[in-house]
Amino acid sequence: MHEKILTTIKSGIAELFPDVGKIPITAQMRLGDIPDYDSMAAVNLQVFLEERFPLKVSLDMLAEDMTLGELIEYIGRYVKSN
C-alpha cells in the first residue's frame, strides 16, 4: 500500500511544484526540500492529499521537516483505521 501512496504523492508533487524537475522524490525527502515549499504551498498539498485520500491533514503536520516517508506512514495508518 505504501508504494501506491508514494506514487500518488509523487504525481501530486510534480503537479503542484513544477520546479521540482528532476530532483528524485523519495521517502527520505523532506517537504522543505521541495523547491518553493512554504506555508502557502503546504495548503495546496493539504488540498491535494484530502482530495486523493479519505483523510484530514493539519497544516501543522505538513511542516518543512516532515519527510515523505513519515507522511506516507501517517496516510497508511489513517486509511487502515478508517
Partner 1 sequence: MQRARILSTGSFLPDRILSNEDLSQFSAEARKLIAEKTGVQTRRHAAEDQCTSDLAVAAARACLRRIDFPPDRLEGIVLSTSSPDRMQPATATRVQHGLGADNAFAFDINSVCSGSSFGIAVVDSLIRSGAFRTILFIASEMYSRILSPRDFSTYPFFGDGAGAILFRAEPGCTGGVLHSCLGTDGSRHDTICVPGGGTMLPFEKMPGPRSAFFRMKGEEVFAFTLDKGPKIIRRLLEEAGVAPGEVKRFICHQANINILHGIAGQLGIPRERFAVNLDRYGNTASASVLIALDEAVAGGELVPGDLAVIAAFGGGLSWGANLIRI
**Contact positions toward partner 1, by CB under 8 A?**
15, 18, 36, 38-41, 43-44, 46-47, 50, 58-59
Q: How far is the CB of 2 from partner 1 (least distance, A)?
A: 25
- Sign of the Cα torsion 5, 30, 64, 11 reads negative
| CB neighbour list of residue 34: distance below 8 Å, 6 or more residues apart | 13, 17, 20, 41
C-beta closer to partner 1: residue 2 or 15? 15
C-beta closer to partner 1: residue 1 or 63? 63
